[in-house]
Each structure stands twice: as C-alpha cells, then as structure tokens.
Amino acid sequence: MAKQQLFLGIDCGTQGTKAIVLDARSGQVLGQGAAAHTLISGANGRREQDTSQWLEAFTLATRDALLTASVDGQHILGIGVSGQQHGLVLLDDHGLPLRPAKLWCDTESTAENDQLLTHLRGENGSLARLGVVIAPGYTVSKLLWSKNHHPDVFARIAHILLPHDYLNFWLTGRACSEYGDASGTGYFNVRNRQWDLELLRHIDPGGRLQAALPELIDAQQAVGTILPDIAAHLGINPRARVSSGGGDNMMGAIGTGNIRPGAITMSLGSSGTVYAYADQPTVSPDASVATFCSSSGGWLPLICTMNLTNATGVIRELFDLDIDTFNHRVAQAPIGAEGVCMLPFFNGERVPALPHATGSLQGLTMTNLTQANLCRAVVEGTTFGLRYGLDLLRHNGLQSRSICLIGGGSKSAAWRQIVADIMNTPVICTEQSEAAALGAAIQAAWCVSREDGREESLAQLCERCVKLDPASETRPIPDNVAACQQAYERYQQHVATL
C-alpha cells in the first residue's frame, strides 16, 4: 500500500476550532475534531475573544482529530491554519497578548472607521488607494480604537497579528502574514500586495505600528517548522512544517476547489459569504465587493453579509424548534411566505451597507402570521442578501455555472432548494463540510511538496482531495424561480425604504 501523506488542517472560527487529518495521497479525510469558543460581548457592539481559548481549542480539536483518525501524530508532515478574518491580536515584546482579540463582528470601532474613511476621502478614496473600502469590521479601525481607548496597551505593542497569524506565531515563533488574510486589514493594498505604511503613520506618527507589522509571505511559502515544545504538547512530529495558512474565506476557496475562474463558493455560516476566483485584481466600483487576494496566487472578489445562521437561530430559539422541525416548517410555507418579508439585520448589515439597521418584519396580516411563514421568511430574507451580493459579483464580470455551498445551512435540503431557485443556478455541496479546515490541510500539502522539491500543483491536490456530494445537487425549478424573483423584488423595495 502506498505510504500515507498526513496533514493537519485547522480552522479557528468565531464559534469554535475544527481540526481535520487529511491523507493527501489518497485525498481522504481520516479524522475530525472540534472544540468551542465563547464570545465576550458588550453594549456598543463589542465582540471579543480570549486568545488562550483558541490555543486550548486548537489542542483539544487536534488530539480529537488524531484519535478519530487512528493515526500517530508523529506522522503529520505539515499543518495549515485557517482563521476568522479581520480580528486584531496585539502582542507585547515577550510575545504575550496585551488584551482580548477584537473580532470581525465587533462594531465598537465604527466611529474610528468613519474618521479613517474621512481621511481616505470617502469610499471612492479608499477604493482608489487600497482596492477595498474599509468597514467597521476591518482591522485598521480597531488599531485607532486601541490607541483612543487603551493608550497604555497601545504604548506596549510589539506585534500586530490577525487570528491565523497569531496561531502560526504560537506554532513557530515567527510573526508573518500572507496576502489573502492581510487583504482584510484595511492597511494593505490588494493591487500591489504591500502594507500601506502611510495610513499606519497617520494613526501613529511615532512609527510603533509600522515596526510591529508582520513580514508578508507568499501563499505557498512555509512559515517554518513547529517549535519542539509545541510539537510535544500537541503530540505531533517535531519536523512538521507550518504553511502560510490564511483567512477562512481564502481557505474555504481552496477547500471547495475554487482556484480557477468560473466557480462560485457560497458559505451559509454565522455570516454569509459569496466569492469567486479571479486572476486579475479587477476592483469593483461597488463598495460592497471586497477584492481580496486569494491564498492561491490570485484574487478573491467577495461579499459578506452579517446575518445568516445567526438570524435563523434566533427564530428557531424563539419557537424552541430543533433543526429538523425548523426545516419542515420552512418547506411547509409557500415561496414568498404569503407576503411575510423579513429584513434579518439583527447585527446591522454590511451588504447592503446598513451598519445601524435592525431586524424587521413587513407585510403581516391576520391570516399570514404563522410559524411556518416566519421560518420561511428568515431563510428567504438571509438568502436574498446573498442574491444581492451575487448580482454585484456578476455585474463585475464573474460567471457562474454552478454554486458550491458550504457551512451549516448547506446541510438543509429545503435551504439548498431555496438558494438554487433564488440564484437561478444549480447548487452542490462538498463531501467535506469543513471546507476551510480542508483547504488549510491542502495548502499545507502544497507548501511541503514545494519545500521538498517535488512540487505538486494546487490544482492536482484539489482534484484529488475536494470531493463533491452528488446527492446534494439541487437544480432550480422554473416555476419557483419566477415566484422567488417576485419575492426578491418585494424584499428590495422594503430595503430601499431603509
């Protein structure tokens, strides 16, 4: 039997850390593990996490994955890390965190973001200079917020890292960042792939931020070899190499084989994302499209909505429904939920850009206010937000023959049909639902093969390791498409009134 080539893929998300063990030779996922995180939430939009939870969850999930794979950790050749984007981790000169990490969903720095946008001469100025429009979730406003609210902490900053950079630093002792995840900081130019040092000097003329920046590396470069004490702690081969890793969307793209033009990945997670690979940095004039770099050598135009399974979860909890009952209710109600329309902006919204919006229900009558219609309305409302984003990507010249669905919502057959009908495009899921962890493991295999001088192309690895689930394939139904289009237009009219 051919010798296995084992790689560990880690995805550190908002709700928890997932780990998978991949045999890159056979393309099989052999084992999986998971451990949860908790949020530090506060008024005025605070959403933070204690970084020590990430390290604990990384350890538990890794041990779990090795156990379920029935493999010896000494055979792991490489590790790839995917992390939630935009988060801010500040370290002192001993490499220790100065305070909890501010997350992508933290909107406490909205005032600082507004100040920085004014400095950049508005959305058009931000697009012209950086290739993206900075938003409150991006890292840059969190830096100015730290300076304004925690000057004592700010004075001790030695390293500025994103969540996945911090985990790589813990694994290897090296502070670096790769282009994909760096794209979401707001102080990185996505066209020339360089830090915008002038913008950081505007925040801090003293130069402390510039000195604290990590070195930028290419997606297929390894960060280094795992530190001996961390290898012993995790029960892993001390010669295992750590790949560049990347943001969760960049790793999700690799984990769905979205590394060439023509594919579209849609993630139905806590938030919703739609993204497609591009081989040129064609920056959309629309502020809602973020033309990030990919972690596969190209670019990844992307839109992100703030409300998806977090919104459906609120309705499920309200009625105390388990997932199966909720899905049954959704399927019971007709398309358009008999006129009930939900604008599910419980967290404010990024696309469309309505940061201060709240959730609302429209079109209620004495006869249509039913549990089934409310369940249907929240799924339709969140999916309409993604349709709006997909239309923006299509206006930017991106083609889509089919959509690859990932994330928790993709497990629902009813939701898959709604997505196919609203987007008027066939959808299919990958066999491995943890696409970001799989992408991280594939990227690790790519990095290690390159370092060993027997470079396999990323396309070859994806072909072998990314498997589609034919049973999940869902095609649009023509009559449904027409009814969904009507409901979508009604949703757009309601959004326009905001």
Q: What CATH number did the domain enclosing 73 receive?
A: 3.30.420.40
| CA 91 to centroid of chain Cα atoms | 23
Q: Is residue 435 situated within a structural domain?
A: no
pTM higher than the cut 0.85: yes
pLDDT of residue 459: 96
User: Is the CB of residue 36 less than 8 Å from the CB of residue 16?
Assistant: yes
Tell me if residue 248 is catalytic: yes
Q: Are 265 and 274 in contact (CB under 8 A)?
A: yes
Domain hosting residue 23, numbered range? 6-248
In a domain, 58, yes or no: yes
For position 2, what pLDDT does the model report?
A: 66
The active-site residue out of 248, 286, 324, 452 is 248
Number of domains in the chain: 1
**Residue 313 included in any domain:** no
Burial 449-462 (b: 16+ CB within 10 A, else e): bbeeeeebebeebb
What local confidence, expressed as pLDDT, does residue 21 receive?
98
257 Rama class: left (phi>0) / alpha (psi -120 to 50) / beta = left
Question: Among 435, 406, 447, 407, which Cα is nearest to 168's?
Answer: 447
359 within a domain of the structure (yes/no): no
187 within domain boundaries: yes
List, in order, residues 6 or more apart from 145 with CB less than 8 Å away.
102, 108, 109, 112
pLDDT tens track of the chain, all 498 residues? 468 999 999 999 998 999 999 999 999 999 999 999 999 998 888 999 999 999 999 999 999 999 999 999 999 999 999 999 999 999 999 999 999 999 998 989 999 999 999 999 999 999 999 999 999 899 999 999 999 999 999 999 999 999 999 999 999 999 999 999 999 999 999 999 999 999 999 999 999 999 999 999 999 999 999 999 999 999 999 999 999 999 999 999 999 999 998 889 999 988 899 999 999 888 888 889 999 999 999 999 999 998 999 899 999 999 999 999 999 999 999 999 999 999 999 988 888 888 788 999 999 999 999 999 999 999 999 999 999 999 999 988 887 789 999 998 999 999 999 999 999 999 999 999 899 999 999 999 999 999 999 889 999 999 999 999 999 999 999 999 999 999 999 999 999 998
Assigned domain for 443 exists = no
Q: Is residue 80 part of a domain?
A: yes
Q: Are strands 76-83 and 6-12 parallel, antiparallel or unpaired?
A: parallel
Tell whether 167 is covered by a domain.
Answer: yes
